[in-house]
Amino acid sequence: MILPPGNPYTGYSRTAANTPMPTAAPIPVPAPVQPPEALAGRYSRQILFPGIGAEGQKLLAQAHAAIVGVGATGAATASLLARAGVGHLTLIDRDFVEPSNLQRQVLFDEADALAALPKAEAARRKIAAINSEVAVDAAVADLVPANIHELLAGAHLLLDCTDNFETRYLLNDYAVQQAKPWIYAAAIGSYAATMTILPAGFSTPYPLLPTACLACLFPTPPGAPVETCDTAGILSTAVNLAASIQTTEALKLLTGQPHLIRRTLFSFDLWSNQRSEVSASTPDPACRVCHDRIFTHLEGSERPHITLCGRNAVQIHERHRPLDLAALERRLRRDRDLEDLRSNALLLRFRRGAYTLTVFPDGRALIQGTTDPAVARSLYARFIGS
């Protein structure tokens, strides 16, 4: 979800500590085709690149990156980082795989869509098959103020691949407060954009000044609706461009070379060949976030409990206690008006007339078929409870 060029707007199989999350039965990881000694050469071509080398590859193996949003950009970024040998990935996504995702979300296949697997778990399974050396935590969750510290605490680098403003501004608050670098990336239509943010206090061997943060360039989220891939469409090539640039910036940071990052908001339109760069070299001295350290989004005072998902759907995440999906399924099976009721340990899904409801163990739900929060809340209360 982004605005026109030059503008940055645009849910673990091992779960977070103290937050048990039921998971589907693990899929056995195939044994490596190559013998163990041959696996040492897995990264040989990357090590030959002078910017990485043997020492850089060791640093990547020790690194921990968190990817927030495992849709189009997030799936591509996760695949690239896993193949590059980043040793630990945390994948956070609130959504599930649908057939319309397969045009651009490279980690998923038709079986994932048929099972409506949560994207974070589907991505974890694919990465296990791509590179069994990478540890992956898959959190099927909406990143919110209540869980952000727990989910992101161990990560060295945060990668934004989200589709909504609330989460981007929340990430910005958290990164500035915790002095963690983060990389914004977005794609829509044929347009891709990225920006790398180094907050003040980020530990580096180089005498670097911090960059501007998201709030420096845009103090508040846009007040008017903006285009999404559901309204403007999207090319998979734009997704992969954004993910490639984001991943390359990540490799610079994770190999201890922050002086090589690009200190601009960069955008490129693959169809029109137009490009734009806006300087993000230095923070705005009047910024309420990185200068005044006022973290409104992190405090949660502006976090809505009902949000539009940009695809004729509403998300409800105002319930603060877990759901017993098996008990809910038994109750719902008595309702003869419900269709296509199915569930696993990760979600429960059913149709009621024009509406499809997908419910997660934390009580969160996606109601498709409406953009009216009142209708969504009514359906939630009727079938799930308050």
User: Looking at the annotation, which residues are catalytic?
Assistant: 229
Written as six digits, the tokens of 135 are 């540890």
The Cα–Cα gap between 137 and 11 comes to 11
Does residue 184 come out as left (phi exceeding 0), alpha (psi in the -120 to 50 range) or beta? beta
CA angle (286 as vertex; 284, 287 as ends), nearest 5: 70
The neighbour count for residue 4, using CB atoms within 10 Å, is 16
Nearest CA to 185 among 95, 106, 69?
A: 69
Strand partners, 315: 307, 366
Taking CA atoms, 145 is separated from 16, 53, 60, 300, 320, in Å, by 15, 38, 29, 6, 13
**Run of H or E including 159:** strand 157-160
Written as six digits, the tokens of 241 are 């461009």
Instruction: Burial-class residue 269 by CB neighbours within 10 Å (0-12, 13-18, 19+).
Output: middle
SS3 373: helix
